[in-house]
Amino acid sequence: MPIKYSRLSKRKVNQLMQYFSADLGATQIAQLANVNSNTVNNWYHTFRVWIATYQEEQIAKSAGEFELDESYFGGVKKKTHAEERRKRGRGAENKISMFGIKKRDDGSVYTQIIGKCLKINLIAHY
């Protein structure tokens, strides 16, 4: 639904976008913005379509070779004696796992912090 055909003002639509980005439910937003929950649901659908369209355009632009890598950052090494060393790698304490993609053509880099390295977090579901 384009904004120009909407009965809502641009200000109200922008308010709905802010609530959408704050990840609030449709019922909550309907009460906060003083609109019907069906209207909020319709706008949520529109926002999702816009995001999906944008993502498809970005994927179409990003043809070429990529490098993928995961790394772990942080964590303080407190003890240095061999028998007292802390665990290294994935299971180490206070480490933040990151996933990075580098496009070889132009050198652009995209990174994402991964909360837990579980299969469900790492593999996209279609």
Integer Cα distance of 102 and 111 in angstroms: 9
Whether domain 3-61 has CATH 1.25.40: no
Q: Per-domain residue ranges for the chain?
A: 3-61, 66-122
| pLDDT tens for each residue of 49-81 | 988 888 888 777 777 788 888 777 776 666 666
Report pLDDT for 119.
Answer: 73
Backbone φ and ψ for 125, nearest 5 degrees, come out as: -105, 130
Write the DSSP string, 10-25.
Answer: HHHHHHHHHHHHTT--
How far is Cα 73 from Cα 13, in angstroms, rounded to an integer? 40
Is pLDDT larger for residue 92 or for residue 50? Answer: 50
The per-residue pLDDT for range 11-62, each reduced to its tens digit, is 888 888 888 888 888 888 888 888 888 888 888 888 889 888 888 887 777 7
Beta carbons within 8 Å of 68's beta carbon, 6+ residues apart: 99, 100, 101
